[in-house]
Structure 1
Amino acid sequence: MDLTPIHPKVTPIYQTSVFKFNSLAELEEYYTTPGRGGRYGYSRSEHPNSDELVAEVAKLEGAAGGGVATGAGLAGLLAAVLATCQAGDHVLCPAELYGGSVVLLSLELSRLGIETTYVPLADLYDIAKWRKPTTKLVLAEVLSNPLLTVLDGPRLARACKEQGVLLLIDSSFTSPILTQPLSWGADMVWHSATKYLAGHSDVTAGVVVARDPAIGKRLRQVATNLGLMLAPMESWLAVRGLKTLRLRMRQHSENALAVAHFLANHPAVEQVFYPGLATHPGHALAEHELLGGLYGGMLSVRLADDSAAAVDRFIQKSKLFPLAPSLAGVASSCSYPTATSHRGLTDEQRRSLGITPGVLRLSVGIEEPADLLSDLQHALG
């Protein structure tokens, strides 16, 4: 069937594992031409849907070096680290870091000879103090998980550049609508596309894009060699999600700000962690650093009854904030960091980070704000 005259408005799903060649000359051209000459061979290496997703994210981030889409968010982190580090190298991170990242770095990559050091975020900016001769990479989050500490991205980027260390920014909580870390001087931006990029809780994916084409090429090589490449269907769904990203992020942010103000005045809540509140210690920095006057859809609270039992009562009474281990879908949800993202840490480690038994993380969706506040009032009653 000749499909030449067909011009779809939306890119089709190329649900195929391989692509055909008409001759040995075409096959040779595929392997020897830079950029594959516009051809595709094996979906483990590349396919049109993954390329479209990476191109769209790269455009949003201003990433001239391209990148790669992976089968999960953590696979994106794995690709970023292995594209820039090898056995004997050292990675520097803030102690306030997503638990899954900590497990990957400290449990798995350490077995491959890549060392990681964690220091308080407030001290991380002094890269010269912490770097070793083998330090190759710094990883940090724009907003820390789960207590929403605000990163001074431009300051960290300047410090990394001065010390000759690459900077990888996890922008999963903010998306390119709120932050574009390459404009600060970061070298790579990593997204768990499972979260805001896809946005509908029906995709598991990661995307990493780079400033330098050499790093972008190496990201693709690592993803190909390790089988990390995102499949066509999931790539297509993530691209579909991107088309409403700007609208969703505005509604997520507006709803979260309303929820944060409500919770800040509720007697059952001891503390609200949301950079959009003037009382948040990072509010001034967030106001300057985040784009469009938006602060995102993620917030955390510490209940006045700082106990797991109080959290469990909330979970069982809430109808619009169901307990779920992930975040950032169009429908609201809640998560309990002690038992999910940071369960791999000891009680002492969690307490040192401020993650006490009564800390609950809320992912605020795009529902009617009045419905969300009514549900919270009931759940905290």
Structure 2
Amino acid sequence: MTFINPKITPIYQSSVFKFEDLNELDAYFADTSSRYLYSRNGNPNSDELADAVNQLEGGAGAVATSSGMATIFAAILAYCQAGDHVLCAADIYGGSAALLNTELSRMGIAVTYVPFEQLYELAPLCRPTTRLLLAETMSNPLLRVADLGRLAAHCHALGLKLVVDNTFASPMLTRPLQLGADISLHSVTKYIAGHSDVTAGVTVAADAEVAARLKQIGVLYGLTLSPMESWLAVRGLKTLRLRMREHSHNALAVATMLAAHPAVREVYYPGLPTHAQHALAAEQGGGLFGGMLSCKLADDREVVSNFMRRTERFPFAPSLAGVDSSLSYPLGTSHRALTAEQQQDLGITTGLVRLSVGIEPVEELLADLRQALES
């Protein structure tokens, strides 16, 4: 007899699983965690990913979803229903704002946006129906850093839940649940998978009942992640610790160079001592600051376009966190749906460029950026 005992979980590329008889079916519905029925309800590969991220975050349970947007949707629905009210940090990923504004509003969930400076003074914005605050560990795209311990204590004192998008930091830098957050979520597409070949999300809950609710939402709304995507994400996750060290090392060198360059008006990176939340970021990130930064060139479309055309190591690709460096343009991509007034209030201007610094040799990245900025 040949025994198969793989070190790596195989890909269970099956939409459905077989039962021997009605007794096995009854056993499944008595304990749905005992085996698999249908891959929308659960699959060994998606469960492996959810369990791995849950362990890193120190949660009570997690669910893998088909995208980062799906995981934000699931997190909000875990606490909210029609008639409820959500607070959301104003300085947040544009897709999160679009979801709240266009789709969740149609479901009867209202939203109020909170300026970064008012995050720790939420009482005047609360209503009897306010359920939660949605914020980011490090904001997209200006890299403002939230004091999650302080924010969690403030939210709980007001009877609110704190939902944190931890995508920019990853669990290697920050574990929001350990600082008091109720849900930590990730666009797995970014650092967790890490190779720009997966679209996925994971939501992690601090409470087991909320984790069960997340699972129910994922099943009933069909937010399922495919076995192949799950398998790729788990493979990427294995090198997350090593990659985040290199991302952070390279990004600090790039930010330092850009801050001294005459063509750059401003640099937003928590690793710089001049950053307003530098000390907080160092404490929450264990001395690492991640691979994301933004910089401001002249507020001139042609200056920005010329920079994009000249760079060879930072292709214009509107995503982030792959092992290969890239750049994005918040005004025209992630925050395009915001009004001109909102963009101006957040500091998202014509000259703002967001860099995702990869793990290539840092000398090559610095030389490329210098030549791209020459003109």
Please say if 1:245 is aligned against 2:246: no
Inter-partner Cα distance in structure 2 for 1:160 and 1:119: 13
Deviations 1:19-71 (A, max 9, x none): 000010101111122xx25200000010100110011001000002x121111
- 1:1-381 paired onto structure 2 within 5 Å: 5-33=3-31, 36-64=32-60, 66-291=61-286, 293-303=287-297, 305-381=298-374
Inter-partner Cα distance in structure 1 for 2:88 and 2:340: 20
Inter-partner Cα distance in structure 2 for 1:98 and 1:37: 34
1:101 to 1:375, Cα distance in 2 relative to 1, 3 A: same
Deviation at 1:361, TM superposition (A): 0.1
Conserved 8 A contact 1:337-1:359 = yes
1:84 partner SS: coil
Where structure 2 has 5 or more consecutive residues not aligned to the other structure, the ranges are none
Name whichever of 314-323 and 128-137 sits farther off. Answer: 128-137
2:350 partner SS: coil
Deviations 1:217-267 (A, max 9, x none): 000100100110111000000000110000000000000000000101111
Conserved 8 A contact 1:14-1:49 = yes
Aligned AA for 1:356? Answer: T
Inter-partner Cα distance in structure 2 for 1:214 and 1:136: 16
Deviations 1:310-350 (A, max 9, x none): 11001100010000111000000000000000000122211
Runs of 4+ deviating beyond 3 Å: none
Inter-partner Cα distance in structure 2 for 1:144 and 1:309: 27
Aligned AA for 1:246? Answer: R
Count of matched residue pairs:
374
Deviations 1:145-170 (A, max 9, x none): 00101111111000111111111000
Conserved 8 A contact 1:29-1:37 = no
Inter-partner Cα distance in structure 2 for 1:106 and 1:67: 26
Conserved 8 A contact 1:331-1:365 = yes
Inter-partner Cα distance in structure 2 for 1:111 and 1:325: 27
Name whichever of 278-287 and 192-201 sits farther off. Answer: 278-287
Inter-partner Cα distance in structure 1 for 2:171 and 2:123: 29
1:198 partner SS: coil
Conserved 8 A contact 1:95-1:121 = yes
Aligned AA for 1:300? Answer: S
Inter-partner Cα distance in structure 2 for 1:378 and 1:343: 29
Give the alignment's Cα RMSD to 1 decimal: 1.0
Inter-partner Cα distance in structure 2 for 1:351 and 1:121: 14
Aligned AA for 1:369? Answer: V
Inter-partner Cα distance in structure 2 for 1:278 and 1:67: 35
Deviation at 1:127, TM superposition (A): 2.4
Inter-partner Cα distance in structure 2 for 1:309 and 1:184: 44
Deviation at 1:122, TM superposition (A): 1.4
Inter-partner Cα distance in structure 2 for 1:56 and 1:133: 37
Q: TM-score normalised to the size of structure 1?
A: 0.97
Aligned AA for 1:289? Answer: Q
Aligned AA for 1:16? Answer: S
2:171 partner SS: helix
Instruction: State percent identity of aligned pairs.
Output: 59
Inter-partner Cα distance in structure 1 for 2:284 and 2:77: 29
2:267 partner SS: strand
